[in-house]
Every structure is written in C-alpha cells, then in structure tokens.
C-alpha cells in the first residue's frame, strides 16, 4: 500500500519535472502546444466536473468560457481597465452568468439539460455576433495583452502551468470533498438523493457555478494566449470539442481531461500539417475510443491496466475503488457505473447520443 | 506511525525538489530566437482555407500564388522562395495555430493570407508583435486593418477594403436616378462594411434607404427575404452576399421575377468569378461593383487570365488575382532591396512605398494609412464564346481611396461600419469632405 502511494507521488513528481523542464527541451512551437493543452485541458476538466462527476452533460460550456473571454477583452481593450482588474471583472461576470444559467438548469435532467445548455451557449454566441458595438461582432476583439511578466512564450507557459496546477488542485479537493461525493450521488441516483436529505437543486447550481468559474479561468488563459477573441470561440463547436476532449481522455477523471486536450491539440496543431483531412482523423480517433475504450484513454488505462496491477500486488480494495472511480464512463455508455465494462457490441455505439443519457436517467 | 512519518518526509522531499526545479527554471530563460539573414532561401507561409465553407475561393488564392512562381520561377535576387501552404479552414483559431506553426516550426519570415476578415484580423494580431516577420494581406478586406486598427507589419499587398467599391456604388446609384433603395446584406462584419459604404455615399447625395434586410451567413433559402421586397417601393436594390449564399440568392432573385422588375446593384462577392462558375443564365446581365474584373481588357489582366485558364482550366477570380499580385508585389520589393530582408523596417518601408503600375487589378498603391488606392469597376456578367460567365467592365473609376471623398481624419473619427452605424446621417457638413461635397448649402 505504502509503496503504491509513493509510486503515485513519484509519477506526479515526474510529470511535474517534465512539465517544468519542457521549455528547455523542446522548441517554442511545442511549448506553445503544451500551453494550449493546459488551458484546453482545464476547459475540458470544467466540463468533466459537471458531466463526468455529476452526470450533467453540457453543450454550452464554451458560452460560459466566452463570458470570461469577452469580459476581459471588453474591460481591457474597450474600457481601459488594467489587466488584473479586467481578469477579476471577467471572472465575477462569469460567476454571475453561470449562476443565472444554472438557475434555469436546476430542474432539468438528461436531454433537457443538454438542450438548455445548448440554447444558452447559442445565446452567448448570438450576442457576441450581433452586439457589434461591444463585442466587435464577427471581427472579434483585438488588443488584449498578456501579463507583463509573461509575454514570452515560455513565461506564458509557466504562468499557465501555475494557474492550471492551482485549479487542478482545487478541483481535486472539490471532487473528494463531501460536495464532490454528493455530485457522484446525483450522477448515480438523482431520485434517491433528496430522500437522503440532500438539496439536489442547490448542489447542481453550485456545481454549475464552480464548473463555470474554472471554464472562465480557462477562457482568460485562452484570450491572453491568442490576444484575440471572436465568436467561433464561444460557438457550439467549441463546446462540443471540449466535451469530446473530456470523453476522449476519460469522463470522471482529472488526468483524462488533459490527455484528451493533449490528443486534440496534437492533431489540430501538428498532425494537421501532414494530413489535410485531420478533422476526419479526429473523428476516427473519437469513434474508435468509444468503440474500444468507452471509458476514455485514462479510464480504460485505470480499469484495464492499473486496477489489475493493484490486484496482483494484493491491494484489491484500492483496485475496486479505482474501478468505481473510472465508472464515470458509464455516463456515456449507458452501462451501470459499477466497474463492469459494458459490452461494446450492444451498448456503446448507440450510446454516444445524448438520448441515452436521458434513457439512463429515466430508468433510475 | 513511523511509516506514516517516513511517508510525510518523502512528501516533503518531493515538494522540496519541485521548488528547487522551479527556482532553476526561473534562473535561466529557455529558447533563443534565430536572426533573419540576408542570404539563403526565404520561407513563405501561405495560410488560405482549402477546406471548409470558403474552400473554393481559398483554393483560387493558392492557385494564384502558385501560378506566379510557375510563370516566373522562384529565384529572386539570388534567393530561393520556398512556399509552405497551410489550411486554416476559414477559422480564426486555426489561423493562429497555423501561423505559429509556420513561424516557429518552419521558420517562415513572410506570412501570406488569409481570406475571411475575422481570420485576417486574428493573423494581424499574431504578426503584430513579431519584429522579424512580415505579413502580406491580399484578401482580408476588414476596413479597420488600414483605418482604426493598423498593424504595421501586416501589409495590404494586392489587398482592398470592403467599403471601397461600395462607396463608389452608392454615389453611382444616385447618378443613375435611383432615389429609393432596398439593401440586402450578409449579417456579419463584411456585410455591414459593404452596406455601410453604399448607404453612406448614397444618402450623402439625398438618396433614401426604404428597406434594410440582413441575412445571416449561410442562409439556406432567400425566399422569405425576397417575398418581403415590393419592387414598386424602390428604384433599385443593393445586395451583398458571400460564398454559397450568392448562388442561392442569384437563382432565387431570378425565380421570383425580381430580375426583370428591380435593378440589382451587386457587391463584389455576390458575382465574383469563383461563384459565377456555378451560376447559369440567371446571372447574365447582372451588374456589380468590385476592385477586380476578369473581363478588363488591359494586357496585364488578360495575360493573367490566359495563364490561369491554361494552368487550371478556369477563369481566375479576384481571390486568384490577389495572391498573384501579392507575389508580384513581394518580388519587386525584394529585388529593390537586392534580396536583403535583414532590415525588416527598411524592407517594410519599401514594400509599402511600392506602386504597382499595372496588375490584374490595374494600378495599385497604398496611402499613408496602408489602405489600397485602386481602380473600382462597374461590371456586368456576360458570357464568352465557350459559354463561360465572366464580369465585363462597363465603367472604370480610377484612384479610389479607402476614404472616398471624405476627409481621412473626420472619417476615422467615426466608428467602423456596423449595423448600428451605416453612415446615413454622416457627414453633416462639407468640412468633412476633401472634394466633391454633395451636401446642399
């Protein structure tokens, strides 16, 4: 047990070492890719927080990210606030809007939840596109700068690393807190939660606001990285991409979000230089993941490699725990989240569609 | 208990190691930039969309660029020009991704592109802080790139402004005796700027906009807009559509019988050659304003048209001409500088001062703001001997500035054209004109 825990710490330390040494090892192009992976990973993680842990699949998260993105861009480039104040205003407005969106969402479940988030995302996009005086419309907003201490590509990488690391730590604590457990409770059996004395609506609202706040932080990093923000960044496609990243890596896992964003960034930035039909490749990767590894890359790794390994070393308890943890994948596979791998032949192909979530929830 | 203590000790060690690594990291700055040289090959990155909604026009841009090098060779002033093409699928974020790849990974010192205004603005934002990279902007027509948001090293080489042709069109429409106009423009920045240009000059003369319609980009069916138009209520219609919308609009304009009832004044992209290829008889005879006409009879245009026709079996669109002209513009500058690109500010100065005596567009030069001064054309769709549709020149308007006849400073004090500001009530006095003030009194 002790060895394994230390092993976990050691692997964390080696990831941190590689992350810190990265700008010294690889050229700027790859460092920039890593920066993108970090903030897109945080965005995917924010989706993961409500989709993976609480079972509420959203297609409007880019809209929430967009509030922060437009918030900082408008405050900084139009209203001439300082960057720090602009960032603060942006996060505050994200929290307010996420809370408002959340209030409209707390009663909804399954496909209705999905449709409302989709509509909310489209509202943000519509405002961004039409409210030209404020948002620059289709031309977007320019002239947002990076913090003065992080203008260089490598400095911005470290800055993002620090911010994302803090956020990941917070999310790690949140999902392991009683609040995090109650989210899983909602995912597993929403109707039973009130009977146990939980205020489901309040928990859902809080989850949506917390998740939105992290999406907002990701949005700030995105805007300062590109120095540019325009409506496609808040479009439903961006929301779907975030969801795909989180599914690809493994729903209900923290590392999964970053593995997913890593694959996404690698394909869009690097592979796209060699293969013109890279969106097809991305789609193929996604379909294959759902077919053969419905728990995502990290989820499958944990279930198929890590858990058996733990068993072999005689730690059945930890192994079972991991299998249950990885069970967030059941959200998308329609299987019961008890560490039983659903039959890919019958279940998982059709279950990618949002409807299956509704089916699953109506069954409960 | 001891185990647990030992475990915490290890944790502390690891934490200490992490902190140390951070300190080490903070001490030295990684990476180093390569200095641009005055010899060896020059890598040029071309970012145009060859997939996505504007793929057809983007492919024309790539073809036009390649055609120049095929005809003239890629050796300029002792240096080899190497082109790397990247596809941005018409999206701003992809544009940034590709620009970074070209500059950081491939070492490109020149970036050419891109097509849609929002992608051009994203690219401008990327090249702005780079002091060893030059951006050439042959097609990104967002007005503000040479007005309220000028980026010093992103140059309109062979480029244009959205509202330049339509300033001419609005003035011309009044001259035709049209007093009441209906406008139908695409509902995004490019459409706003086109419509704004037209409405501004048309209303200066005393013309009236009786109806404004806005269609979102990608409108699948124009019937709801067209059935809203009463031909008796207006003298003419100004229409600006983009991409596949243009084909649908022109077809339905004819199907609804409006073609015979209401004179149509098209914007440049409504009847661009890249779209005429897919149109039929319904387009013949329609008039539009643009900064390019493949039917221009001058040798500079016709030689380009013939070469393009031979290479790709298509008549060239303005997109093809734009990158072709950008290549010519860049080559002439490089020759003036004897192949030396080591002093970027000096190179930029030469680039901006270059006056194109003749190109497929006609003469072209930049004003002090970096805006294109060029000839605008009134064009009419005609059919050649082989049944191909093309834009024949009806009338030429040479030397059109991005500021039309307005005083640049007064013009720039106004916001860029948007749905909220289309210039109906501006200018208020003749002080805001430098010539030909049409206002009464």
| Three-class DSSP labels, chain A | CHHHHHHHHHHHHHHHHHHHHHHHHCCHHHHHHHHHHHHHHHHHHHHHHHHHHCCCCCCCHHHHHHHHHHHHHHHHHHCCCCHHHHHHHHHHHHHHHHHHHHHHHCCCCHHHHHHHHHHHHHHHHHHHHHCHHHHCHHHCEECCCCCHHHCCHHHHHHHHHHHHHHHHHHHHHHHHCHHHHHHHHHHHHCCHHHHCCCCHHHHHHHHHHHHHHHHHHHHHHHHHHHCEECHHHHCHHHHHHHHHHHHHHCCCCHHHHHHHHHHHHHHHHHHHHCCCCHHHHHHHHHHHHHHHCCCHHHHHHHHHHHHHHHHHCCCHHHHHHHHHHHHHHHHHHCCCCCCCCCCHHHHHCHHHCHHHHHHHHHHC
For A:158-217, CB contacts with B below 8 A are 158
For B187, nearest residue in chain A (alpha carbons):
A130
Is there a contact between B25 and A158 if contact means CB atoms under 8 Å apart?
yes
Among the partner-chain residues B86, B142, B188, the one whose CB lies closest to the CB of A273 is B86
Average pLDDT over residues A44-71: 93
- Partners of A241 on chain B (C-beta within 8 Å) are none
What is the interface size between A and B, counted as CB pairs within 8 Å? 128
Is there a contact between B105 and A227 if contact means CB atoms under 8 Å apart?
no
**Model confidence at A53: pLDDT above 50:** yes
Q: According to the model, what pLDDT value does residue A276 have?
A: 80
For B87, nearest residue in chain A (alpha carbons):
A276
Is there a contact between B104 and A32 if contact means CB atoms under 8 Å apart?
yes
For B361-395, the pLDDT digits (tens) are 999 999 999 999 999 999 999 999 999 999 999 99
Mean pLDDT computed over every residue of chain A: 85
Q: According to the model, what pLDDT value does residue B35 have?
A: 46
**Model confidence at A21: pLDDT above 50:** yes
pLDDT in tens for each of the 441 residues of chain B?
Answer: 445 555 555 555 656 666 655 555 555 556 544 445 667 899 999 999 988 778 889 999 999 999 999 999 999 999 999 999 999 988 898 899 999 999 999 999 999 989 998 899 999 999 999 999 999 999 999 999 999 999 999 999 999 999 999 999 999 999 999 999 999 999 888 999 999 999 999 999 999 999 999 998 888 999 999 999 999 999 999 999 998 899 999 999 999 999 999 999 999 999 999 999 999 999 999 999 999 999 999 999 999 999 999 999 999 999 999 999 999 999 999 999 999 999 999 999 999 999 999 999 999 999 999 999 999 999 999 999 999 999 999 999 999 999 999 999 999 999 999 988 999 999 999 999 999 999 864
Q: Nearest C-alpha of chain B: how many angstroms from A150?
A: 12
**Model confidence at A346: pLDDT above 50:** no
Domains B42-160+298-370 and B163-290+376-432 fall in the same CATH topology? yes
**Model confidence at A292: pLDDT above 70:** yes
Q: According to the model, what pLDDT value does residue B12 have?
A: 58
Among the partner-chain residues B11, B30, B98, the one whose CB lies closest to the CB of A24 is B30
- Partners of B132 on chain A (C-beta within 8 Å) are none
Candidates 3.40.50.720, 3.40.50.920, 3.40.50.2300, 3.40.50.20; CATH matching B163-290+376-432: 3.40.50.2300
Quote the pTM value. 0.84
Among the partner-chain residues B121, B192, B418, the one whose CB lies closest to the CB of A140 is B121
Q: Domain segments of chain A: what residues?
A: 2-363
Q: CB of A63 within 8 Å of any CB in chain B?
A: no
**Model confidence at A364: pLDDT above 50:** no
A2-363, CATH topology level = ABC transporter involved in vitamin B12 uptake, BtuC (1.10.3470)
Q: Domain segments of chain B: what residues?
A: 42-160+298-370, 163-290+376-432
Q: According to the model, what pLDDT value does residue B2 have?
A: 47
For B171-190, the pLDDT digits (tens) are 999 999 999 999 999 988 89
B42-160+298-370, CATH topology level = Rossmann fold (3.40.50)
Query: pLDDT band for position A311 (50/70/90)?
Result: confident
Q: Nearest C-alpha of chain B: how many angstroms from A42?
A: 18
Is there a contact between A138 and B100 if contact means CB atoms under 8 Å apart?
no
């Amino acid at each position: 047990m002790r060895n394994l825990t230390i092993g976990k710490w050691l692997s964390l330390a080696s990831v941190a070492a590689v992350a810190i040494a990265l700008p010294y090892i690889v050229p700027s192009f790859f460092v920039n890719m890593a920066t993108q992976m970090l903030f897109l990973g945080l965005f995917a993680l924010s989706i993961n927080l409500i989709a993976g842990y609480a079972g509420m699949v959203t297609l409007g998260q880019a809209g929430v990210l967009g509030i922060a993105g437009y918030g900082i861009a408008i405050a900084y480039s139009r209203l001439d606030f300082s960057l720090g104040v602009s960032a603060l205003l942006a996060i505050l407005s994200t929290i307010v809007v996420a809370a408002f969106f959340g209030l409209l969402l707390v009663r909804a479940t399954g496909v209705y939840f999905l449709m409302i988030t989709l509509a909310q995302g489209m509202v943000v996009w519509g405002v961004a596109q039409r409210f030209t005086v404020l948002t620059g419309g289709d031309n977007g907003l320019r002239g947002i700068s990076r913090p003065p201490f992080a203008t260089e590509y490598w400095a911005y990488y470290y800055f993002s690393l620090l911010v994302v690391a803090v956020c990941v730590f917070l999310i790690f604590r949140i999902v392991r807190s009683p609040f995090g457990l109650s989210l899983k409770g909602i995912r597993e059996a929403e109707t039973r939660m009130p009977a146990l004395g939980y205020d489901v609506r309040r928990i859902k609202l809080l989850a949506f606001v917390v998740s939105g706040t992290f999406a907002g932080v990701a949005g700030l990093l995105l805007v300062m990285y590109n120095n540019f923000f325009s409506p496609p960044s808040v479009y439903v496609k961006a929301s779907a991409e975030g969801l795909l990243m989180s599914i690809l890596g493994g729903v209900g896992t923290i590392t999964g979000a970053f593995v997913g964003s890593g694959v996404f960034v690698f394909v869009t930035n690097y592979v796209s230089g060699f293969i013109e039909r890279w969106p097809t490749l991305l789609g193929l990767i996604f379909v294959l993941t759902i077919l053969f590894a419905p728990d995502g890359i990290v989820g499958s790794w944990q279930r198929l490699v890590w858990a058996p390994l733990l068993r072999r070393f005689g730690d059945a308890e930890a192994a079972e725990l991991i299998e249950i943890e990885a069970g967030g994948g059941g959200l998308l596979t329609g299987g019961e989240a008890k560490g039983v791998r659903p039959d890919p032949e019958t279940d998982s192909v059709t279950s990618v569609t949002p409807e299956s979530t509704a089916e699953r929830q109506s069954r409960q | 208990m001891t185990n647990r203590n030992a475990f915490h000790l290890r944790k502390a060690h690891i934490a200490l190691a992490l902190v140390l690594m951070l300190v080490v990291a903070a001490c030295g700055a990684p990476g180093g930039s390569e200095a641009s040289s005055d010899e060896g090959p020059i890598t040029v990155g071309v970012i145009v969309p060859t997939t996505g909604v504007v793929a057809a026009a983007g492919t024309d841009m790539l073809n036009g660029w390649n055609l120049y090098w095929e005809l003239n060779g890629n050796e300029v002033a002792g240096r080899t020009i190497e082109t790397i093409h990247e596809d941005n699928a018409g999206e701003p974020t992809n544009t940034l991704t590709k620009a970074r790849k070209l500059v950081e990974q491939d070492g490109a010192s020149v970036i050419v592109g891109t097509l849609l205004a929002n992608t051009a603005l994203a690219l401008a934002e990327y090249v702005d802080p780079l002091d060893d990279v030059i951006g050439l902007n042959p097609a990104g027509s967002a007005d503000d790139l040479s007005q309220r948001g000028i980026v010093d090293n992103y140059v309109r080489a062979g480029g244009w402004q959205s509202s330049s042709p339509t300033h001419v069109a609005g003035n011309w429409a009044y001259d035709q005796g049209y007093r009441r106009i209906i406008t139908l423009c695409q509902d995004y920045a490019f459409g706003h700027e086109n419509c704004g240009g037209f409405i501004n000059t048309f209303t200066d003369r005393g013309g009236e906009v009786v109806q404004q319609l806005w269609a979102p980009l990608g409108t699948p069916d124009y019937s709801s807009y067209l059935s809203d138009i009463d031909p008796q209520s207006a003298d003419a219609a100004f229409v600006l559509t983009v991409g596949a919308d243009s084909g649908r609009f022109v077809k339905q304009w004819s199907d609804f019988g409006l073609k015979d009832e209401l004179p149509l004044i098209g914007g440049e992209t409504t009847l661009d050659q890249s779209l005429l290829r897919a149109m039929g008889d319904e387009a013949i005879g329609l008039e539009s304003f643009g900064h390019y006409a493949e039917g221009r009879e001058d040798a500079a245009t016709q030689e380009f048209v013939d070469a393009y026709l031979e290479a790709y079996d298509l008549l060239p669109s303005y997109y093809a001409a734009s990158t072709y002209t950008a290549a010519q513009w860049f080559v002439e500058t490089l020759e003036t500088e004897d192949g030396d690109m080591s002093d970027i500010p000096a190179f930029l100065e030469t680039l901006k001062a270059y006056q194109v005596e003749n190109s497929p567009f006609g003469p072209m030069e930049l004003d002090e703001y970096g805006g294109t001064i060029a000839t605008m054309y009134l064009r009419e769709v005609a059919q050649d001997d082989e049944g191909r549709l093309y834009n024949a020149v009806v009338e030429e308007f040479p030397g059109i500035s991005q500021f039309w006849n307005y005083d640049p400073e007064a013009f720039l004090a106004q916001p860029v054209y948007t749905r909220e500001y289309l210039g109906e009530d501006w200018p208020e006095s003749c002080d805001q004109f430098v010539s030909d003030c049409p206002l009464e009194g």
